[in-house]
Chain A
Amino acid sequence: MYRKRYHFVLGIAILLRAGVAQTPTASAPQRALSRLAHPAVVLKDETGRNVLETGKPISTRQTCGEKCHDYEFITGSFHFQQGKSEMDRNLLGSHGIAPFNSSPGMFGKFSLIPNRQLTHAGITDAGDVDMSQPEWLTKCGGCHTGGGISEYDLRGQKFLSPAAKPDGPLDPSYTIRDRETGRVVPWDWEKSGVAEADCFLCHVPNASRGARRKQMTAGNFRWANNATLTGTGLVAEQEKGTFTYNRAAFNTDGTVKPETLDLSDPAIKNCAMCHGFTARNTTTIQPIQFADIARGTEKSGWIYNGAKISETVTPKIVGKEKMDYPWDAHAAKGVVCIDCHFAPNNPGRMIHDDPKKNLRYKPISEDIAVYLKRPDHNFARGNIPPETVNLTSHNTMRACGDCHDAEKGHAFLPYKSRHFKALACQTCHIPAVHFWAYRSDDWGFLMDTGTSRITFRGIDGSIVDPESDVTGYLPAYITTPDKNNNLQIRPTNLITGVYWFDKGKARPVFTWQMQAAFFAGREGEDWKYRPEIVKAFADKDGIIDIPQAVYDTPTKIALVKGLLQKYAGVGDPELRIDVAPWAMSHSIVGKKQATKECTACHAGNSILRRPVDLNSFLPRGVPIMYRGKNLNVVNYQGKEPTFDNQPLLSSFYIIGNSRALWVEWLGWLSVAGSILFGLVHGTLRLLRGRL
């Protein structure tokens, strides 16, 4: 009885908390509910003892999972598995995902931006090793919140348990490629420890991803969750990567003072630490947070912020004086991330209808106690390209139409249903992006930093220089199926990559292979090009400047192909272009700023067919990949290569823009013939005096 009541009160507390997690501002309406705190907690170590007594790292498995929350259930969800639980070739194949990916999630899929990939389990050749599980954790574990991927090996054995043993000398769960020697060496799990689920990263408002990242990067997984609490005053970092506890942050009974952790539903700030939208209502946009880059912002320039663009202090937004409206209309209204991307079984947020069963309201929903015990962390999400992550949760989020009745608005718009069927809401409600984003990432030719050449759109200058002019950019338009499988036109940022593909192995060429082909060695961080490369690409000064690092002749492509074969053992390398569209769902503008002019789309110079610049240095005559398929979406006719979306929009007839050429010819010829007949006939009548 007591337990039920406890769960009820706790549930109400957390549900109410969800609405008031943010400090209201003038432009964000305050949610009036008062806040109830999470009960005080005892922080326990892996043995279940109070860390104040033992001084050991916090174990969330013990602290959160021992009595109140189902740790295994929670960490079995995507936010902790990141694709590990979806490593199924049939599943990948059924979604059109190339087999060189081992999962559809971040833990297993190839990503062009770092040109890295998790090494497949069961490999027997050192040449097939790219990024092992420990290396993945050091590179990506700053955001990816422990549990699952950092507690279990690829065969499902719990690290440091008796059953956890490497399956051969190349087992990617127990090895790492040494950066200096290039050899595959064992990873010492005893030394690193495992990173349990970092509940604090999302549920503690003052969580520090930067501090967590530092420990993960150093391979100090064991203390990573403690590091996240650095900003709360609860812990202090010591030498050698250990942490001590501040007794002042604890009550006399050994529990943590509630205000120290302030446990709550994730605030925008928590989500933003990894997804990169900036915090709410800020006039200083910081997409580069905690010393590394937040992907969500850099891929499309998303800014989820309720403050007006015109009030932005940093960076320098060109033309902001005229932008007297918020960065995002939803943020300005006080909508938080979890309003749309909620835990699917949260009774306070879940979608209660069941269209498949013709129910507008489904009375049999989750009990609050069940939810609190087993909150589903497969958060509701949409389905926008090119993301493939969390396949089983696609199109589960609260979409635009779940809150807005578009048919009741849009009085100016004829044929509403047709428009809403053919256009994503974002197409009109993200008419422009006022921030910078990735433009290209060229892994085809490595720079002397040993890595790729990256360019950005929407900024004049460096992205880390606050004095750079942020000019923003206009989106490109692609088509994607909506949740009803109707093709819709939607805005995107295009990130164009150039990379080498190993046709023999049917996978992208790894970065270390590229480095072996391009460089004879390195001194510190300066990589020394091979003489063959210098001879072919450098000008008279012997230096390869950026304009020279291009494949402007087939000979140069053939040269690098030969070097890849000779020095990196790549059997059949092929240079490819990949045009990746990154769809947009944030930086939404309201009706005043949304595109309303019909001629924006229904005209000869429709924005839908606007040429969007790609990478200036794209090679010619190489295969062009678009969303995993060979599709020519590059137009080389102009000064610079541009995006050609004709193959995508060919299924849309846009009145005022689309033309059936034979109709136009036949039609105008008939009109011209009629006019000509009148002119000739009339002239002859006039000349003959027969009018």
Chain B
Amino acid sequence: MNSSTALYTLHERIWHWLQAAAMMLLILTGLAIHYPDRFPLLGSMANAIHWHSWIGFALILNAFLGIFYHLTAEKYHHFLPRMDDFTGAAAKQARFYLYGIFKGEKHPLETDPRRKLNALQKIAYLALLNILLPYQIVTGVLMWGADRWPQFFDRVGGLWVLGPAHTLGSYLFLAFLVGHIYLATIGPSPWSHLRAMTVGQETPVQTAVE
């Protein structure tokens, strides 16, 4: 039996779960805004908008705290892909997910506290945290500010541009969330990644799939 390793610090775990909760709530309240007649959450669309805005700002705050933490604790390197991560390592990881996992092959990455993310995760988070999240924040804040800076709001296209743009981002977040939750089950056991992100400890994965 392998010994457990401390993978995620308390700060990382709090940040992750706050972010996850915020995203879930944003998706739910977003559905209540986008389909107010089919998802009548929180009593009214106005309430859904109210809470969607507040939760959005909470997410933004948490995102900035996360950046601050990862920079000051020098943890940001986990998210920085190397050149190899875009090519050979990514291909290996993809091959593992699509083929090797069913053959019982070893996980291509030996996870440890210094290397927590595989190549595909790095690429995914690079896109998520550096493109999709800022995109969603910008379109969301602009929509929130429609009454506060109406001329600028109209200049960037108003709701005709921002509405569909923010909606598309929401769908992509939802798609990510589904995939993320599923992939969280690919560990030594279906619950081991979840456990790691909850209590911080996980069995290293070099023999994860045997």
Size bin of chain B's contact surface: 35 or more
**A691: CB under 8 A from chain B?**
yes
**B44: CB under 8 A from chain A?**
yes
**A655: CB under 8 A from chain B?**
yes
Nearest chain A residue, comparing its CB with the CB of B181 = A678
A415 to chain B, nearest CB (A): 5
Chain B residues near A673 (CB, 8 Å)? 175
**A179: CB under 8 A from chain B?**
no
Within 8 A of B (CB), among A662-691: 663-664, 666-668, 670-671, 673-675, 677-678, 681-682, 684-685, 688, 690-691
Q: Is the interface of B mostly helix, strand, loop or mixed?
A: helix
Q: Please state if A597 and B37 are interface contacts (CB–CB under 8 Å).
A: no
Q: Please state if A682 and B102 are interface contacts (CB–CB under 8 Å).
A: no
Q: Please state if B185 and A605 are interface contacts (CB–CB under 8 Å).
A: no
Instruction: Mark interface residues in B174-205 (1 if CB within 8 Å of A CB, else 0).
Output: 11101101100110011000000000000000
Q: Which of B46, B102, B172 contacts A598 (CB 8 A)?
A: B46
How many angstroms from the CA of A182 to the CA of B205 in the assembled complex?
102
How many angstroms from the CA of A339 to the CA of B178 in the assembled complex?
61
* Interface hub of B40, B158, B163 (most chain A Cβ within 10 A): B163
Within 8 A of A (CB), among B33-64: 33-38, 40, 44-46, 49-50
Instruction: Take A413-B46, A415-B146, A655-B159 as given contacts and tell me if A604 and B168 are in contact as well, using a CB distance cutoff of 8 Å.
Output: no
**A616: CB under 8 A from chain B?**
no
**A603: CB under 8 A from chain B?**
yes
Nearest chain B residue, comparing its CB with the CB of A678 = B182
Instruction: Mark interface residues in B134-158 (1 if CB within 8 Å of A CB, else 0).
Output: 0000000000001100100000001
How many angstroms from the CA of A670 to the CA of B46 in the assembled complex?
28
Chain A residues near B159 (CB, 8 Å)? 653, 655, 658
Instruction: Mark interface residues in A44-76 (1 if CB within 8 Å of B CB, else 0).
Output: 000000000000000000000000000000000
Q: Which of A415, A658, A663 contacts B171 (CB 8 A)?
A: A663
Chain A residues near B123 (CB, 8 Å)? none
Chain A residues near B33 (CB, 8 Å)? 655-656
Q: Please state if A670 and B34 are interface contacts (CB–CB under 8 Å).
A: no
Q: Please state if A653 and B190 are interface contacts (CB–CB under 8 Å).
A: no
Nearest chain A residue, comparing its CB with the CB of B165 = A663
How many angstroms from the CA of A507 to the CA of B34 in the assembled complex?
48
**A165: CB under 8 A from chain B?**
no
**A25: CB under 8 A from chain B?**
no
Q: Please state if B146 and A418 are interface contacts (CB–CB under 8 Å).
A: yes
A residues lining the B interface (CB < 8 Å)? 412-418, 421, 597-599, 602-605, 653, 655-656, 658, 660, 663-664, 666-668, 670-671, 673-675, 677-678, 681-682, 684-685, 688, 690-691
Q: What are 14 pairs between A and B in contact, CB < 8 Å?
A: A412-B44, A412-B46, A598-B45, A602-B45, A605-B37, A660-B163, A663-B167, A663-B171, A667-B171, A671-B178, A674-B174, A677-B179, A685-B101, A685-B102
Besides A598-B36, A599-B40, 7 other A-B contacts (C-beta < 8 A) = A655-B159, A656-B36, A660-B164, A668-B171, A682-B185, A684-B102, A691-B190
